[in-house]
A and B are shown apart, each in its own frame.
Chain A
């Protein structure tokens, strides 16, 4: 079998929090750094607040697989309350990392995900987004924390790339650019892995 250097990420969020957007932005950033990418949400009867899942495959060459991801290398939880209702560590091995938006420590989160032996990354993405963007958009800081932990893209390269994307995306709302950039930077500084 031809070896494919593949990183698989599963996102858990709630409808309206931007987990899908973060997933697609991660694909964009990885593409810009020369990778082959897949970014796709799992669609169903979405509504605000309902659990949603999105996926990324990032590789050095084209990945043929079109199924959902059952054995991810990383799981990103954009909404902490999902830890109570969704088996977020399903298929995540002890070599994998769980990344959670929370005020809690990795140790406290570990108590909530029974038996998970891998690394746990935590960042208070909700507070960061309220402080920097002015409202609750935890996806922006969660994306930055994911980039930092996965090491898929060098963080400075990521920040440069995002600044370009945001200039384009928010061409009519330039005041949002600085806030989002601050959210990325603060999350990269504050994320803790334990």
Chain B
């Protein structure tokens, strides 16, 4: 029986964590993810869960402690944001490359400088090539649902998972949510029983050895294969979760795409705002659609490209700047995925929402208007654009 409640995205993660009751949490506080270890350590202090909380002195140590715990055979979790994630960078690679299924709640926040506590995706997008699975959420409900599925995926694939949500927008925004029963969550994630682990006395194991040139490349190729092989597991987790909760998930969600002429590709909470624009423009008879990407790693290259090919022009939305002179991270990957297809749409990029810059229904309507200009003129113009920036030189 689902329980209807209202809570913030951070409370939703802390409650999912309570229901899962991992063996170890190691965390260092950073806005806006601080509430996750804060709420969860209260559950520990109140004796509600038996998790071992390791209060570390930095995020580098938090991820190191998670690595040690996970290698020893424990289910280990952490939470972080922004500079905290950046500080973990070295250990992100080590955890993923050591095939350790750590689950991390990432509450997306901009990176400095100038210092900023608000939302964008530059932290997790910066970590996109560290070998972690990345799942993003539009709402508090999705954060909760993704977090529970993450354990199933991580432990079946032996890959770590980042469960990302937008700082303050969902992390601190209170809204309606349906929680599963504690027992349903416990049954779904099951007991963590790794085949191999450090503390298995009958089969001693080395973790983190030196990898000489004659072995290293094969190891990396296997790691890349593990990411590829995680795709059916992500689908399987979603199917099982749908049977339990009634809520269906996949790599991406298509919103009013069937007869759409132009579309947006977007990730995270702003997808909701964009859906309201779709509804508004549809009421005026305009055939617009939206694709919300949920899983960024592994990148669902083929199916996503096929979905984008339903329209003639697509705006790929990036809440992170790559400073690449070639668009944001989503643009690079999504546009690349279209290259081989004969009926590919025009694909343009908008950088938006950096450092918490608000994006509204009206902004998305403007983007759809721009897309119809491309639709009518067959000229994509400058494909690398900004939305919501005040400096008129950079429109």
Contact = CB atoms under 8 A, between A and B. Distances in A.
Interface of A: 1-2, 24, 27-28, 31, 36-41, 43-45, 62, 64-68, 70
A27 B272 contact: no
Nearest to A40: B173
Contacts of A38: 173-175
Contacts of A24: 174
B233 to A, nearest CB: 29
B361 A65 contact: yes
A40 B172 contact: yes
Interface of B: 6, 32, 117-118, 138, 166, 168-170, 172-176, 269-270, 272-273, 275-276, 279-280, 282-283, 356, 358-361
- Chain B interface mostly helix, strand, loop or mixed? mixed
Contacts of B279: 1-2
B283 A43 contact: no
B172 A66 contact: no
A112 B360 CA distance: 29
A31 B269 contact: no
B276 A64 contact: yes
Contacts of B360: 67-68, 70
A28 B168 contact: no
Nearest to A2: B279
B32 A43 contact: yes
Contacts, number: 67
B358 A68 contact: yes
A25 to B, nearest CB: 10
Nearest to B281: A1
Contacts of A37: 6, 174-176
A40 B358 CA distance: 14
A36 B4 CA distance: 11
16 contacts: A1-B279, A1-B283, A2-B279, A27-B6, A27-B174, A31-B6, A31-B176, A37-B175, A39-B174, A39-B175, A40-B169, A64-B272, A64-B275, A64-B276, A66-B169, A66-B173
A43 B168 contact: yes
Contacts of B270: 66-67
Contact of B173 (A1, A39, A62): A39
